[in-house]
Structure 1
Amino acid sequence: MLIDYHTHHVRCGHAIGTLEEYVQKGIELGLVQLGLSDHLPLIHVDPATYYPEMAMPMEELPRYIEECLMLKEKYKTQIDIRVGLEGDYIEGYERQIEDIIKAYPFDYVIGSVHFLGEWDITDFRQTHGWEGKNRLAVYEQYYDAVQKAAATGLYDFIGHIDVIKRFGFKPEEDVTHLENAALEAVKRHGLAIELNASGLRTPAEEMFPSRRMLEYALKLGIPITVGSDAHQPERLAQYLDQARLMLKEVGFSKLATFDRRKLVSIDF
């Protein structure tokens, strides 16, 4: 069962390719399900003065949903389109996020932590933010935000749960307890996680999450889905063969899919 639940498109500003180009590429690759999941518009910083090309403008959000639904119908005999959103968790803005999510007929919403305050720890232009920081303190702040995201009830699965490692900035101290606490929060609140294969093309050189975290997720009984985090059509499903192999080696036998905010487990 070939699926990809994490993709980005030209509307977000830092990706290329139209939604329809992704759909056509998915059909070419033989995907059974394709999740369209562009970023939540910026709500806690001024898009006019913040770093450019971070997310779709708020006025584009309804157009994004309309186009997703149109493509879902147009290609329904060739591929199963699932309408999603990567709904960045911003502490203190839970109500605004909830209002946006409830306004549209999403099949799933990814809960991802990119921002610690106004610092996007996943943006290559902002790696200077690590300068002078206690790395362990940053990791503690990040994983605390992941736990808070899981507790909101707003999301269906947590995206790239250990993406804090993306650029290779790691504490000298062991952070296993922080990673485990985040996974335990996911389990406690009934969410899934994704195996995000895009980590293989970052300085981390490792999928999100690590194999150790996958093993603990399996032990806890956390459902898992997969995503390429493609930002161009040519990268759709990139490394997902390796991701599925990793999941099988760890011991997973099912993947989580989502339909109108309901989790459906499938064999793979």
Structure 2
Amino acid sequence: MLIDYHTHHERCGHASGSLEEYVKKGIDIGLQQLGLSDHMPLIHVDPKTYLPGMAMPANELPRYVEECFLLKEKYKSQIEIKVGLEADYIEGYEAEIEKIISSYAWDYVIGSVHFLGEWDISDSRQLDGWDHKDVDDVFTQYYDAVQKAVKTGFYDYIGHLDVIKRFGRKPKSDMIEKERQTLNLIKEHDLAIELNASGLRMPVEEMFPSERILIESHKLGIPLTIGSDAHKPDQLGLFLDQARNLLKKIGYTQLATYDQRKRIMVCL
């Protein structure tokens, strides 16, 4: 089955293209399921310090959801659209996150960590956040945040599990123990992870997560889905052929799909 469960569009401010352009592109490239999964609005950064285009404005969230469901109905004979949200985990703001998630009828919710405090570790404009920090400490802080996200029970799967490596920073230690702790928690809480192919177009030039993490996930029996993390329509499905080939090599035979927050396994 050809699916892409991780996409962003113009409302988030750092992507381009309308939702309908993504749907049409998905039909063109033969996707059977397309997940629309834009970023939730920011709830913890002082608006005065916002960099342009960090996330969808709060007043656009209901419009986003409404348009997703309209397109789901409009194109139902051509493609199956899943209505999703990439919901940041931000420690100390659990109540606000839960309110956003519980307010809409999502098909799935991606749990992602982009922020350590007010520092967006995935934003190329904020690379100075690494200055004067120990890389090992940052990696440890990141995985601790992912583990806290898992424990909330808010999410259906964890997005780009090792995105902390995005800009090529490498810790001195191998982080294997932190990775294992995180994967064991994911297994314990019956979550899935995603293979996010966008890392191949990032400075790290490696998918999220690494093959090492994927192998361990497979050993643990953790379900997995895939996404391009497209930020413009032409990126839809990008590198997903390589992602599927890697999964087959490791031994995966199924992908996780979602409907009304229920996981449905389909043949890879």
TM-score normalized by structure 2? 0.99
Partner of 1:125: 125
Q: Structure 1: how far apart are the matches of 2:48 and 2:184?
A: 38
Q: Structure 2: how far apart are the matches of 1:181 and 1:54?
A: 30
Gaps of 5+ in 2: none
Q: Structure 2: how far apart are the matches of 1:110 and 1:246?
A: 22
Partner of 1:76: 76
Q: Structure 1: how far apart are the matches of 2:173 and 2:90?
A: 26
Partner of 1:44: 44
Partner of 2:170: 170
Partner of 1:197: 197
Partner of 1:214: 214
Gaps of 5+ in 1: none
The one-character-per-residue Cα deviations of 1:144-172 (angstroms, maximum 9, x if unpaired) are: 00000001000000000000000011111
Post-superposition offset of 1:47: 3.1
Post-superposition offset of 1:185: 1.1
Would you say 1:157 and 2:157 are equivalent positions? yes
Would you say 1:242 and 2:266 are equivalent positions? no
The one-character-per-residue Cα deviations of 1:69-104 (angstroms, maximum 9, x if unpaired) are: 000000000000000000011011111000011000
Q: Structure 1: how far apart are the matches of 2:32 and 2:230?
A: 17
Equivalent position amino acid for 2:172 in 1: E
Q: Structure 2: how far apart are the matches of 1:97 and 1:60?
A: 16
1:19-38 pair list within 5 angstroms: 19-38=19-38
Q: Structure 2: how far apart are the matches of 1:71 and 1:48?
A: 34
Q: Structure 2: how far apart are the matches of 1:11 and 1:70?
A: 16
Post-superposition offset of 1:49: 2.7
Q: Structure 2: how far apart are the matches of 1:46 and 1:258?
A: 34
Q: Structure 1: how far apart are the matches of 2:49 and 2:205?
A: 32
1:243-262 pair list within 5 angstroms: 243-262=243-262
- What value does the CA root-mean-square deviation take over the aligned residues? 0.6
TM-score normalized by structure 1? 0.99
Would you say 1:7 and 2:15 are equivalent positions? no
Equivalent position amino acid for 1:65 in 2: V
Equivalent position amino acid for 1:57 in 2: P
Q: Structure 2: how far apart are the matches of 1:100 and 1:166?
A: 27
Which secondary structure state, in structure 2, belongs to the residue aligned with residue 87 of structure 1?
strand
Q: Structure 2: how far apart are the matches of 1:66 and 1:46?
A: 27
Post-superposition offset of 1:48: 4.2
Equivalent position amino acid for 1:217 in 2: S
Which secondary structure state, in structure 1, belongs to the residue aligned with residue 264 of structure 2?
strand
Which deviates the most, 99-108 or 168-177?
168-177
Number of aligned residue pairs: give it: 268
Equivalent position amino acid for 1:253 in 2: T
Q: Structure 1: how far apart are the matches of 2:96 and 2:185?
A: 22
Q: Structure 1: how far apart are the matches of 2:88 and 2:110?
A: 8
Which secondary structure state, in structure 1, belongs to the residue aligned with residue 88 of structure 2?
coil
Which secondary structure state, in structure 2, belongs to the residue aligned with residue 73 of structure 1?
helix
Partner of 2:85: 85
